[in-house]
Structure formats: structure tokens, C-alpha cells
Amino acid sequence: MNVRTEGEFTYADAGRGSPVLLLHGLFGALSNWTGLINGFSDRYRLLLPILPIYDATSNVVPSVEGLTRFVLEFMHRIKIGPCAAIGNSLGGHIGLTLALTSPEMVKALVLTGSSGLFEAGMGGSSPKIGNYEYVKERVGYTFYDPAIADKQLVDEVFDVVNDRNKALRIIKIARAAQRTNMRDELPKIHKPVSLIWGLNDTITPTRVAHEFFSLLPQVEALHFIDRCGHAAMMERPEIFNRKLAPFLEKYA
């Protein structure tokens, strides 16, 4: 996996073949997609732009629309599109917005734990962001098996949320995502969609997946993965890849 920088865009670029866009979530990182990259880089060119979620100096508006414009500009900059897009959590929300506003750039969508309808927040009304054990607990809440939230991952999140400027930007984006409900817009998205969901997702629970299934006109499949939380491609990569492969073969 090569990490490249072109202008304001930093992105991972792995493999060769038809391009597939990978969109991470609010606390996402390149490492979230290691299993997918290992499984598909022999067949596809996998591109993962690092979204300017933590960058307080960025001119990108901290909203779903602002991040979607950033992704669209990235696609134009490196000359890809139309292509399939895979989005986790906030990344799924951005993928949906991209398909709605720039349908010519999207062949198909894969959503896993996507926001856009409902998502639970990081915790109570006064998050104890300076408390390491609290942050560890909340990061573990993302997964069915809290042990997946190893020290490196918890340390990364702890450092981010304890940087005041980064934390404020994250809060703005999280609140904007919750305000940007797509229930009325989903029937207008006429792209093939596959839903791959953790059966034990507590942030976007299974009822959210069922609602996406009922509202999106061209959903081809709804897959649930048992003993799996909010980041299925990270927690159950082998099963996730098996569910994903036929869809990419058809549309990527």
C-alpha cells in the first residue's frame, strides 16, 4: 500500500485494475481496511483518501456536504470515476451523498454500518475525553469483541479527542451528520447497493440496515455478519470479503 500526497490530498493507493473508492468513518484510519486491501488488491485498484476530519487548518467545510465535495475533487484530481465506492459509518453517508449529487461518478455502493438514517453517539452528555479508561470503553463499544480495540487504536483516538481543535471539528462533523438525515433522499439514488452489516452493531443497529434496504431502490443484498460490530470489514474481514466479492465482480 503506497501512501501518496497530491496537493491537499493524501491517500493510500493499492493494487491495479478497476478503481474502487474506500471511504472511512469519523475515527477511521488506513488500518481499518487492511483485510479488504489484502483480499482484493490483486484484482482492483483500491483508493483510500484520508478525509480532513481532524485537520483544523483545512478549508473543507466540516459537514457531510463539505466532505463529499472533497471526495469529488479528489476523484477529479487523480482522474478516477465512475467507480464503485465502499463506505463505513460516515464514509457510507458520504458515498450516498456522492451518488445523489454526482451520480455520473458512482457505479455502485457498498454500505457497512453507514450513517445517514441513525447513529448512536460516543456516549453521554458530558464525555470524559480526558479519561483514558472512558475513551478505551467507548472505542471498544464499536466492536463485538472489545479486545480488537488494542492499545494503539485507543491511543490514537485518545490523542485526537484530547486535542481541542481536532475535537471541536469532530463534534461539528458528527452533529452535521446527525442533522443530515437522508430518509427522503434515498429513493432518488438509483445505483446498485450491497449492505454488509454487523449483526451486533450498537452504533447503527440492524434496524438501520433494514431501513436502508426498504428505502434504496436498487439494493441487491443485505448481509448480516454474526459476532460483529460497527466496522465489519475490520472485525470480520474474511467473511466481509466473501460477501463483497460477487458484488464487486459484477459492478466494479
Q: ∠ CA 227-228-234 to the nearest 5 degrees?
A: 140
**What's the confidence (pLDDT) of residue 122?**
45
Residue 140, pLDDT score: 86
Torsion of CA 172, 174, 178, 180, to 10 degrees: 60
- 3-class SS at 136? helix
Q: Which stretches of the chain drop beneath a pLDDT of 70? A: 121-130
pTM: 0.93
Fold classified for 2-119+181-251: Rossmann fold (3.40.50)
What is the model's pLDDT at position 240?
98
Q: Would you say 116 and 185 are in contact if contact means Cβ atoms under 8 Å apart?
A: no
Closest CA to 45 of 70, 76, 73, 21: 21
DSSP category for residue 117? S
Contact assessment for residue 133 and residue 158, using Cβ atoms and an 8 Å cutoff? no
Supply the pLDDT for residue 129.
58
d(CA 9, CA 4): 8
| pLDDT for 11 | 96
pLDDT digits (tens, 9 = 90+) for 108-155: 999 999 999 998 764 443 445 568 887 888 888 899 998 888 888 888
Three cell numbers written together for 229: 460490530
From residue 195, alpha-carbon distances to 21, 48, 216 in Å are 16, 19, 10
